[in-house]
Structure 1
Amino acid sequence: MAYRLGILDQSPMFEGKTGAYALRRTVELAQKAEQWGYGRFWVSEHHNSDAVAGSSPEILISHVLAKTETIRVGSGGVMLQHYSPYKVAENFNLLASLAPGRVDLGIGKAPGGLPLSTKALNYGSANQEIAFEERLVLLNELLADSLAENHLLSGIQATPLPPEKTENFLLGASPGSAELAASLGWNFVYALFINSDAAVLEKAAEAYRNKNGSGRVLVAAAVVAAPTEEEASRLAGDKKIYKVHLESGRTVTLVSAESAEEFGRQAGEPFTTSVQDANVLKGTPQTIRRIFDDFHQRLGIAEFILHTPIETEEGRLQSFELLSPLHAQNKKEEDIYV
């Protein structure tokens, strides 16, 4: 079966190490990912965090592009609610002009931090209250240089216009997000590590196809691979995810009880929290590949973006290497990658 593999790295802060150290490890991982045969390498956006160092994907992407040669590099993703679509289009057209054919634009809907960081991002700006979908539609038109003549911004261009446009991805965890991606001709990435409900994934993949999406459906998964099942279980640990349910109807997913409580407190409205086991795919490389095979065959998943919650540097590198196309090739395993 033919499907592709990529990596999402959040620049984790290892115990006793600095943010600068974490970012150096991200660059080194991207270089190894290129050697190991991964097709793309994405970095994330998180604000005011002592757990991860990646707060500005556009800047980090530029540096990773300069330190690699062939692998596609992108955002997983830019949190569009905070930014002008025009500025995002300019940033990624510039990146695509610097490295034609190698830049991915992934857009996310989450805040990427607690309410205080959202307030800080908007403080002092002229940021208008525009709905996410409207922002995304405008971003798409700017990237395509196809603003309607009657649009308020008609005549504007997000320069420089690149020789090869970015490949675009909408990150989400619902059928509604899949339909939105399809309607714009974007690829859709289902965040399985956020919403582990297999039925929702199936509905999202079906919604994308029913909307005649011209791109592909990808799955972003938390994965832990090791030489034995026992070691994989040990490395994965007992991970949980925490959901904050605000009275206004919004639900936000976080990775610790403390951050969930703090989010609710900063939100300034009544809230409840719930906890569930994190959906971490764990086992030997053969076990993980069987899971991928099933998703590919049943749901037509074209690509998997791998994220690992392992808290040690050695374990993270081992997991990515064991699952890499190069490792599978060297082991003369079934040719499942393209």
Structure 2
Amino acid sequence: MISLSILDYSPIDEGMAAGEALQQTTRLAQMAEQLGFKRFWVAEHHQVFSVAGSSPEMLMMHLAGATEKIRIGSGGVMLPHYSSYKVAENFRLLEALHPGRIDLGIGRSRSYRLVNKALNESKGIPVSYEQQIADIQKYFTDDTESEHRFKKLRATPVSGTAPDMWVLGTGEGSAKVAAEAGAGYVYAHFAKPLKSSARLFRAYEEQFQPTKLQDAPKTMVSVFVVVGETEEEAQELARAFDLWLLFIESETPPPYYPSVETAAQRGFSTSEKEKVERNRKRMLVGTAEDVKRQIEEIAEVFQTDEILVIPNVAGAENRMKGIRLLSEAFELEE
């Protein structure tokens, strides 16, 4: 049986403000819990003015307090920007307040050069990504015996449980890091939609090293989904998504997610049509039954039982309707 989870960007719809986008994310999380989704994750994006999700830990705190049982997580914290110790303390605090409900999804940064510079200003010699992950594991397990440059240091609060750890990625490097760290692995199909990448899951599972935090491999595939009540509606929503992807890849993107009406009125140049064609491979589009079949195919190819859907379409009502239709198609509700 396939479990469905959600990754939300907190898109700022055309004509809306950032605060409204964050409130819409809250309502989406509450609805996802009612509909039977397993997790609700939020993203970290910098210098992308059409989404409000820049600090996942802070938004997670709000969402965990606004829900009761759904797992709340980051998809993900861009670890190279930060101190592993501080990340560990942030997530131990979340876990202490909401035990058994917190996921730490981590990734490498691919931000703008200026963002990288601002977030890393005045830092000393950088610590490797692999070491940062090992550091977090040390702090999550209260290990003060193993050799480490901060051997006696513990991350507080100490609450008896720890968040689940997941590594996000699209290649052999991230799969190897996740396996050697004994963490879960999330493949970003929405960034690199290659069925041949299913081999990464086999390599991850073969190389997986059990830890005190996780004794067996766990996998997810993350996908963009565009769900409409009809094929026509799905295509209208997908066209707005096409335009948003073009916007964020441009030099001067507008600070909003374009509406279906705006997208319908705008034509695409020849070069834009080529980009749209490439981007369409990154998303699953159709009615709930159509998208369900596509999700089942991906789950079969990757041999995973959990899919992390990104319902990043125009309009909060459309996002809520989309996850409701998917829930009904998969019969998620308890």
What TM-score, normalized by structure 2, do the two folds share?
Answer: 0.84
Distance across 2 between alignment mates of 1:199 and 1:259? 34
What are structure 1's unaligned runs of at least 5 residues? 244-253, 261-273
Query: 2:155 matched to 1:153?
Result: no
1:300-319 to 2 correspondences below 5 Å: 300-319=303-322
Counterpart position of 2:193 = 196
- Residues 81 and 68 (structure 1), Cα distance of their counterparts in 2 relative to 1, 3 Å cut: same
Distance across 1 between alignment mates of 2:100 and 2:284? 31
Counterpart position of 1:119 = 117
- Residues 259 and 155 (structure 1), Cα distance of their counterparts in 2 relative to 1, 3 Å cut: farther
Moved over 3 A (4+): 125-128, 240-243, 335-338
The C-alpha deviation readout for 1:271-328, integer Å capped at 9, x for no partner, is xxx953241101111112212222333432121111023122222221111112xx24
Distance across 2 between alignment mates of 1:140 and 1:306? 27
- Residues 90 and 165 (structure 1), Cα distance of their counterparts in 2 relative to 1, 3 Å cut: same
Give % identity.
38
Q: Name whichever structure is richer in strand by fraction.
A: 1
Query: 2:212 matched to 1:210?
Result: no
The C-alpha deviation readout for 1:105-160, integer Å capped at 9, x for no partner, is 0001124x31112211123x545412212212222222122355431100000111
Aligned length: 304
SS where residue 167 of structure 2 aligns?
strand
Counterpart position of 1:132 = 129
Distance across 1 between alignment mates of 2:181 and 2:288? 35
What TM-score, normalized by structure 1, do the two folds share?
Answer: 0.83
Distance across 2 between alignment mates of 1:108 and 1:281? 23
Counterpart contact for 2:35–2:332, Cα < 8 Å: no
Distance across 2 between alignment mates of 1:215 and 1:177? 14
Counterpart position of 2:184 = 187
SS where residue 153 of structure 2 aligns?
coil
What are structure 2's unaligned runs of at least 5 residues? 210-215, 254-273
1:1-338 to 2 correspondences below 5 Å: 2-111=1-110, 113-123=111-121, 125-146=122-143, 149-200=146-197, 202-212=198-208, 214-237=216-239, 239=242, 255-258=248-251, 275=275, 276-278=278-280, 279-324=282-327, 327-328=328-329
